[in-house]
Amino acid sequence: MASKDGNEKAKGAQGAGDNKEKRRKESILDLSKYLEKSIRVKFAGGREAAGILKGYDPLLNLVLDNTTEYLRDPDDPYKLLDDTRALGLVVCRGTSVVLICPMEGMEAIPNPFIAQE
C-alpha cells in the first residue's frame, strides 16, 4: 500500500510539472511597438547604447542596427562623456539589459535625490 501512495504522489508531482510546461510564460514587455524605432539601452555595469530595434526574443536578447555606444569617464564609470563610438549591427544579451527606453519622447532630468548646487 505504501508503494501505491508513493506512485500517486509521483504522478501528482509529474502532473504539476506538465501543467507548468503547457502554460507559456509571457514577457512583461511588449517591444513590438518599438520595432524599427530608435531605442536606448542601459546595461549592467554602466554601458549605454542607442540604435534601431530590429528584433528581440522572450529573454530580452535584442538586435540593434546603426548602434552607437556612449563612452564613459575612465575615472567615474557611471558618468557618460560626450564621446560616442559607432558599433553598427549589435546583438545585446538579455541578461545584461537593465533599461530600455525609446529615443523619441525621452527627456533627461536632473536627479531629484541629489542636492542641487
Rounded Cα–Cα distance for residues 89 and 59 (Å): 19
The pLDDT of residue 114: 80
Hey, what domains does the chain have and what are their CATH numbers? 32-102 (2.30.30.100)
Q: Give the residue from 59, 116, 47 showing the smallest Cα distance to 84.
A: 47
Per-residue pLDDT of 48-59, as tens digits, reads 999 999 999 998
Beta bridge partners of 85: 69
Q: What is the mean pLDDT of the chain?
A: 80
